Amino acid sequence: MSSDLAAAYHTVLSTIATAGRGRPVRLVAVSKTHPLERIEALAALGQREFGENYVQELVAKQRARPDLTWHQIGPVQSNKAALVARHADWLHTLDRAKLLPLLDRARPAERGRLNVLIQVNIDAEASKSGCRPEEVMPLAAAVTAHPNLQLRGLMAIPTPHPEWTRRRVSFERMVALYAELRTHHPGIDTLSLGMSDDYPLAIECGANLVRIGSALFGLRR
């Protein structure tokens, strides 16, 4: 079982390296629903960054392994914002200004700034969270007004269209939005796009952080 994990990890790392053609791309291992032992096993192979969807699950796992880097990649309700600020290193799903003072106030000084990505609902899906593309600029400006938050870039979960050309269109729209944001905020450095079934394409288009669950850990229960 552990050797399966090692094989999957090395496959993912080499696929990332090939797709990135030498560009650095960070891998966030999405460990949601998987027990701590699987995280420990992957950490023993050298993986440092892990992603969780549910705030309570991130809190429990971060308490067990505070030495690892924890990414909150699921939506955050206002009443969970303070927990995210205390336990996460990164938030990928900022989609409204209302969360900002809650995050900023609860961030412990000793943890440094919370890294923030703005989630964009790039395919305008009614069921999906994320802000509209035209809301990115004002939201980014609002993040920079909070001293305990650090704007790092953008995140999206495009519609999983069966046609790759349509997925490419969504990824390329995100790349363009990211480039535009960067002209106003030259310090940003992260475009979080791509999951198990489309990360090579996302990287080819310009993603430099991928979030991968099932390709590493197998299917979720």
Could you list the residues that contact ligand PLP (CB under 6 A)? 30, 32, 53, 73-74, 157, 195-196, 211-215
Q: How far is the CB of 108 from ligand PLP (least distance, A)?
A: 25
Torsional sign, CA 66, 95, 116, 209: positive
Return the number of the residue (35 or 138) whose C-beta is nearest ligand PLP.
35
Neighbouring residues of 220: CB distance < 8 A, sequence distance ≥ 6: 32, 33, 34, 213, 214
Q: How far is the CB of 151 from ligand PLP (least distance, A)?
A: 19
Residue 212 host element (H or E): strand 209-212
Return the number of the residue (45 or 141) whose C-beta is nearest ligand PLP.
45
Task: For the chain, give the number of residues.
Answer: 221
Return the number of the residue (117 or 136) whose C-beta is nearest ligand PLP.
117
Q: How far is the CB of 167 from ligand PLP (least distance, A)?
A: 13
Q: How far is the CB of 93 from ligand PLP (least distance, A)?
A: 8
Return the number of the residue (146 or 167) whose C-beta is nearest ligand PLP.
167
Q: Which tokens go with 118?
A: 């703005």
Closest residue to bound ligand PLP by CB: 213
**Measured between alpha carbons, how far is 42 from 141 in angstroms, rounded to an integer?**
37
**Measured between alpha carbons, how far is 144 from 141 in angstroms, rounded to an integer?**
5
